[in-house]
């Protein structure tokens, strides 16, 4: 499976999960969940996402490898 197809499949699966949750729980529970998210929680989620990109996609960002990885090669 190509990277593009995998990304599209992942996005479609995520939308399908949200659609099923909205269908089974209704929009009230979904909106209550969105209202429960405060600024600090949103900031923590964004920081976790940025950290994941930096750690797992280091080659795409052209960042140097950690010293332990250089010693192993």
pLDDT of residue 70: 52
d(C-alpha 9, C-alpha 2), whole Å: 11
pTM over 0.75: no
Q: Which residues of the chain have pLDDT under 50?
A: none
Backbone angles phi, psi at 65, to 5 degrees: -75, 155
For residue 25, which phi and psi values (nearest 5 degrees)?
A: -100, -20
Whether the CB-CB separation of 54 and 63 falls below 8 Å is answered with yes
Distance CA 49, CA 45 (A): 6
């Amino acid at each position: 499976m190509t990277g593009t197809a995998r990304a599209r499949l992942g996005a479609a699966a995520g939308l399908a999960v949200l659609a099923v949750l909205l269908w089974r729980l209704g929009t009230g529970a979904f909106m209550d969940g969105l209202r429960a998210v405060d600024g600090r929680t949103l900031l923590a989620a964004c920081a976790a996402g940025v950290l994941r990109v930096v750690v797992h996609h280091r080659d795409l960002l052209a960042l140097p490898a950690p010293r332990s990885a250089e010693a192993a090669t």
